[in-house]
Amino acid sequence: MSKQGPGLFIAFEGGDGAGKSTQAARLGEALEARGFTVLRTREPGGTPIGEKLRSLVLDHGHGHIDARTEALIFAASRAALAAQVIRPALDRGDIVLTDRYIDSSVAYQGAGRGLGQDAVRSLNEWATSDLQPHLTVLLDVDPAVGRQRRAAGDAAEDRLESEADEFHGRIRDAFLELAAARPDSYLVLPAHLPVESLAAQILGRVDSLLVAQEAESVGTAPSVGASGGGNA
Ligand code: TYD
């Protein structure tokens, strides 16, 4: 991991329909209620150029996009987000919550599109100057269940979501392998659990991280700052 500021960086990952946005919002609200400054963002997107790249890569109607082009667009959007939004927020000591990060490219483009996980990881580590999350929350969802959940919502399926369940199965396996390889940096939860139960487990893990970070910072630089009265 390259040098990064005193804040805390948490990524939410998982297949489409896993409920990442709901959980990121819940965690953000809980931390803000305690006085932490929280920055929530999403990928692709999160910057003006990133939002343009988002519609280029997700909307139907741009003709065929080959796998390498797709990987580079996601990486370009991520480069902008890391440099312009995430790093500055961590430098200020904020808590950054992102809906998807590098693991999404490793899983979707590396495993799903078959570009190779190592190649896609290297590309993205270069793009972000190796900015890595302290914790990745993986909401594990069965592809068929994810599809049902998406069908129940109002939004039309984007280019990636409309791929076959088999494609989404490769992505699910890749996410689980990434988490199994570095268990200390992941919290893996079954996405079908009740929203409240997921939110409580995620907050519990983040609390432990904040306590550990606080202990590490005693006597050194200030760590994740609670702007109000709250502390973990
Ligand atoms: P997401 O924003 O999570 O979808 P939604 O807003 O509809 O819930 O992600 C959009 C799609 O982009 C999703 O199918 C996953 C895909 N994706 C990749 O293939 N690679 C990436 O690096 C990222 C960030 C997303």
Asked if residue 220 has pLDDT above 70, the reply is no
Residue of the CA atom closest to atom 19 of ligand 1: 108
CA distance linking residue 79 with residue 131, whole number of Å = 10
Residue 2 covered by a domain: no
Residue 163 covered by a domain: yes
Q: Compute the distance from residue 186 Cα to the ligand 1 centre, in Å.
A: 19
Expressed as residue numbers, the domain containing 99 is: 8-229
Which ligand 1 atom minimizes the distance to the CA of 17? 8
Per-residue confidence (pLDDT) for residue 225, from 0 to 100: 59
Per-residue confidence (pLDDT) for residue 231, from 0 to 100: 36
In sequence order, the β-bridge partners of residue 8 are 95
Query: What are residue 169's phi and psi, to 5 degrees?
Result: -65, -40
Per-residue confidence (pLDDT) for residue 228, from 0 to 100: 40
Q: Compute the distance from residue 111 Cα to the ligand 1 centre, in Å.
A: 14
pLDDT, tens digit (0-9, with 9 covering 90-100), for 130-146: 999 999 999 999 999 98
Residue 134 covered by a domain: yes
Instruction: Please return the burial class of 95, using the count of CB atoms within 10 Å of its CB with bins 0-12, 13-18 and 19+.
Output: buried
Residue 3 covered by a domain: no
Asked if residue 21 has pLDDT above 60, the reply is yes
Given pLDDT bands bounded at 50, 70 and 90, which one contains residue 217?
Answer: confident
Q: Compute the distance from residue 77 Cα to the ligand 1 centre, in Å.
A: 12
Asked if residue 232 has pLDDT above 50, the reply is no
Asked if residue 201 has pLDDT above 90, the reply is yes
Per-residue confidence (pLDDT) for residue 171, from 0 to 100: 96
Query: What are residue 9's phi and psi, to 5 degrees?
Result: -120, 120
What CATH number is attached to the domain comprising 17?
A: 3.40.50.300
Residue 151 covered by a domain: yes
Asked if residue 1 has pLDDT above 70, the reply is no
Residue 1 covered by a domain: no
Per-residue confidence (pLDDT) for residue 214, from 0 to 100: 86
Give the count of domains, the chain: 1
Residue of the CA atom closest to atom 2 of ligand 1: 43
CA distance linking residue 148 with residue 41, whole number of Å = 25
Q: Compute the distance from residue 211 Cα to the ligand 1 centre, in Å.
A: 32
Per-residue confidence (pLDDT) for residue 2, from 0 to 100: 58
Residue 39 covered by a domain: yes
Length of the chain equals 232
CA distance linking residue 70 with residue 75, whole number of Å = 9
Q: Compute the distance from residue 37 Cα to the ligand 1 centre, in Å.
A: 26
Which ligand 1 atom minimizes the distance to the CA of 100? 24
pLDDT, tens digit (0-9, with 9 covering 90-100), for 168-199: 999 999 999 999 999 999 999 999 999 999 99
Residue 187 covered by a domain: yes
Residue of the CA atom closest to atom 25 of ligand 1: 104
Q: Which residues touch 79 (CB under 8 Å, ≥6 apart)? A: 127, 128
Q: What is the mean pLDDT of residues 5-12?
A: 92
Given pLDDT bands bounded at 50, 70 and 90, which one contains residue 20?
Answer: very high
pLDDT mean across residues, the chain: 92
- Contact indicator for 103, 136 with CB cutoff of 8 Å: yes
The binding-site residues of ligand 1, defined as CB within 6 angstroms of any ligand atom, are 16, 42-44, 58, 74, 99-100, 104-105, 108-109, 158, 160-161
Long-range contacts of 153-161 (CB under 8 A, 24+ apart): 158/58, 158/59, 158/60, 159/57, 159/58, 159/59, 159/60, 159/65, 160/16, 160/58, 160/108, 161/16
Per cent of the chain over pLDDT 70 is 92
Q: What is the mean pLDDT of residues 29-50?
A: 96
Greatest alpha-carbon pair distance for the chain in Å reads 56
Q: Compute the distance from residue 42 Cα to the ligand 1 centre, in Å.
A: 9
Residue holding tokens 């390259």? 2
